[in-house]
Structures are given as structure tokens and as C-alpha cells.
């Protein structure tokens, strides 16, 4: 399945969820930041300056099923060609349907958001790579500006028990096995990068901090 197909299916599924009835709690599969970046059509930095309830027809006069978040974008990491003038993000209104709940009332605080387009709406969810910019590590910031994109031909495989790679383009993600948390060294500091022979290996993004073009990167 191509990356575009995966993005489209995820976005449509999210919109269908938004139209459903809240029941059980949302459950998110573990997703390395690089995987979230590669599977998202849109990745941006910006400030949320307004939130209102909508329905799936983008109207306010019917039973709401979506939240519409007005965003002031300051940087586009991915998807400028798809949404050059992004103004709104959308998410299911219910957290049980994986809706994103914005954690800050500070309209000057910048966040990272990742999402996909369906019916011309950029849909985000609690399962995406959404974070205050201040919480990102320097390595993750370098990943967003360059390294995640270069690794999109690789597959990061979550592993919390006995496991092994089955293809040369796979990297085992063992944070949960080694640290009992998916938010640990590999997620915070490593990128899975392809080599000329088709093999993918973990590479430290810390090592790119000094003496390379990444030193001048800004996020």
C-alpha cells in the first residue's frame, strides 16, 4: 500500500468516526514520530486562536460532530502544495472517537500538528503527532526539518516482545521493551534512514547537530 493510500484511508476513517456514536474509549497504536510524519499529508507548526463546534457539513446550526480549530500557521513542514493557505483543523468532538482536545488556552503558544485531508478538511486526532513545540527534543526538531522525510521509504516496526525484522527496509522500535515506554530514546533522538543498498538503520539525529547544515535549522 502506498503512503498516499494509507493517508487517504486514515483520513476517511477519522471522518467516519466523527459521525459515529461515542462508546468505548479511543485506542491509539504506538507510532514513532517519523511514522506519524510520513503517514501524514499535513505537518505544520502554529497557534490555535479559536475553537468552535461544527457538523460534518461544516455548519454550526446542526448537531455538532466536529471541533474546528482555527490555526495561525507559522511553518509548514509538509503539505504546502496541498494546503498553501491552511486556516482550520478539524477533529471529532468526542475524545472517545479519538478527537483531539487542545490542552492550552494560551493563543500565543505554538504547537506541532499532523493530519490528513478528507473532503477538503485537514483532520487531526489524538493519535497524531501533536505536541507543544517546547516539548519537542532538538533531535525531533531536526527530524521535522529534514531527516524524517528522508526515511519515509523505511518502515518502523513497534516491538515490545521477542521480534525481528522481516524486510531490509525495517527498523525495530524497542523503546517499550527497553524502557517500558514508547516515548524514550528511539522516539526522542533517532530516525530510521535508508542506505544506498536498500537497508534501513537507526541513525542518531543528535550527531547532525554540529558541523552540518542542520546547525542552522530553525523550527
Q: Compute CA distances 205 → 110, 143, 189, 190, 217, whole Å.
A: 23, 7, 6, 6, 13
- Tell me the helices (H) and strands (E) count for the chain, helix number first: 6, 10
Question: CB of 143 within 8 A of CB of 187?
Answer: no
Number of CB atoms found within 10 A of residue 65's CB: 22
159 is in an annotated binding site: no
Q: What is the spatial distance between Cα 131 and Cα 112, in angstroms, rounded to a whole number? A: 5
Question: CB of 93 within 8 A of CB of 64?
Answer: yes
CA atoms within 13 Å, Cβ hemisphere of 112: 24
Consecutive H or E run containing 89 = strand 88-92
Q: Can you tell me which residue has the cell 521480534?
A: 163
What are the grid coordinates assigned to 74, written together? 507559522
Query: Residue ranges for the binding site for Zn(2+)?
Result: 26
Query: Residue ranges for the binding site?
Result: 26
Amino acid at each position: 500500500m502506498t503512503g498516499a493510500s494509507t493517508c487517504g484511508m486514515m483520513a476517511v476513517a477519522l471522518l467516519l468516526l466523527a459521525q459515529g456514536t461515542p462508546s468505548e474509549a479511543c485506542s491509539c497504536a504506538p507510532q514513532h514520530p517519523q511514522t506519524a510524519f510520513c503517514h501524514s499529508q499535513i505537518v505544520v507548526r502554529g497557534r490555535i486562536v479559536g475553537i468552535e463546534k461544527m457538523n460534518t457539513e461544516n455548519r454550526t446550526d446542526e448537531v455538532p460532530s466536529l471541533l474546528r480549530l482555527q490555526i495561525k500557521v507559522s511553518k509548514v513542514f509538509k503539505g504546502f502544495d496541498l494546503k498553501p493557505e491552511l486556516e482550520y483543523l478539524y477533529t471529532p468532538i468526542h475524545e472517545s472517537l479519538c478527537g483531539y482536545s487542545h490542552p492550552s488556552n494560551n493563543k500565543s503558544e505554538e504547537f506541532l500538528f499532523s493530519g490528513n485531508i478528507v473532503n477538503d478538511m485537514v483532520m487531526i486526532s489524538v493519535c497524531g503527532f501533536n505536541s507543544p513545540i517546547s516539548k519537542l527534543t532538538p533531535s525531533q526538531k531536526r527530524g521535522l526539518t529534514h531527516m524524517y522525510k528522508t526515511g519515509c521509504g523505511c518502515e518502523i516496526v513497534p516491538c515490545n516482545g521477542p521480534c525481528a525484522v522481516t524486510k531490509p527496509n525495517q527498523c525495530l522500535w524497542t523503546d517499550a521493551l527497553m524502557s517500558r515506554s514508547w516515548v524514550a530514546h528511539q522516539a526522542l533522538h533517532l530516525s530510521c534512514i535508508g542506505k544506498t543498498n536498500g537497508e534501513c538503520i537507526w541513525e542518531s539525529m543528535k550527531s547532525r547537530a554540529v558541523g552540518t547544515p542542520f546547525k542552522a535549522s530553525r523550527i
